[in-house]
Amino acid sequence: MLFFLDTADIKTIEKLNNYGLVDGVTTNPSIIAKSGVDFKQTIQAICSIVKGPVSAEVMGDTFDEMIKEANELSKIAKNVCIKLPTTMEGLKACRYLTDHGVQTNLTLCFSVTQAIMVAKAGATFVSPFIGRWDDVSLNGLNIISDIKKVYQNYNVKTKILAASIRHNVHVLECAKIGADVVTIPPALLEKMSQHPLTTQGIEIFKNDWKLANSK
Ligand code: E4P
């Protein structure tokens, strides 16, 4: 399973990329707005740190607007992945970009039928938002397993990028289902490496080592 980082914070991306755990990055307009830095400059900076796909989202509503923005964003770096909304216009733009060799990530996917259309449009990634389903009292993980089942039925190449990940169990269950990618908030990525028994075990080993070497 690939790990993407769900952030536009350059320092954090730099730091975590150094651990060899970052396969790509996803951004969205809210994440970019929070960073307070120019959009294109931010994408350029991220692309120079991370080799894998870096999702940059278009804001237009129509096919023409989306393609215009996508062309600009694609010029930034080879690993820019154009993030498009899962709408009819977004699907049309996806087909066009796919046919022109551009990576795409269809975002804000909330149903299996949307995911089927995303696959038909030839997208590189489909992004079902798990946490936002959970927020409205539905089980977001069900959509991941249903998409997985349907994609397997037809040998679909589009990769399932589980998004809106909120906690460890989301990551664990996505791995069990076989999601291709999880995009993880940085704080969660660090948390995932931690276990109280690991911390306790290190302390015990250190103390025993100190005792043995002080004799
Ligand atoms: C994915 O590409 C999105 O940026 C992200 O996962 C959205 O997560 P949120 O629902 O926590 O905003």
Tell me what pLDDT residue 165 has.
98
Tell me what pLDDT residue 135 has.
96
Catalytic residue among 83, 92, 176, 191: 83
Q: Please give the Cα distance from 68 to 93 (Å, whole number).
A: 10
Tell me what pLDDT residue 36 has.
87
For ligand 1, whether the C-beta of 110 sits within 6 Å is no
Q: Please give the Cα distance from 77 to 65 (Å, whole number).
A: 20
Name every residue whose Cβ is closer than 8 Å to that of residue 54 and which is 6 or more positions away in sequence: 24, 25, 26, 27, 43, 46, 47, 77, 79, 80, 81
Mean pLDDT by 10 residues, the chain (215 residues): 97 97 96 91 97 98 98 98 98 98 98 98 98 96 98 98 98 98 97 97 97 89
HEC string for the chain = CEEEEECCCHHHHHHHHCCCCCCEEECCHHHHHHHCCCHHHHHHHHHHHCCCCEEEECCCCCHHHHHHHHHHHHCCCCCEEEEEECCHHHHHHHHHHHHCCCCEEEEEECCHHHHHHHHHCCCCEEEEEHHHHHHCCCCHHHHHHHHHHHHHHCCCCCEEEEECCCCHHHHHHHHHHCCCEEEECHHHHHHHCCCHHHHHHHHHHHHHHHHHHCC
Tell me what pLDDT residue 149 has.
98
Name every residue whose Cβ is closer than 8 Å to that of residue 117 and which is 6 or more positions away in sequence: 86, 91
CA of 95 to the centre of ligand 1 (A): 23
Closest residue CA from atom 12 of ligand 1: 164
CB 17 within 8 A of CB 50: yes
Confirm whether 78 is a catalytic residue: no
For ligand 1, whether the C-beta of 57 sits within 6 Å is no
CA of 76 to the centre of ligand 1 (A): 23
Pocket of ligand 1, candidates 6, 32, 118: which has the most ligand atoms within 8 Å of its Cβ, to mutate?
6
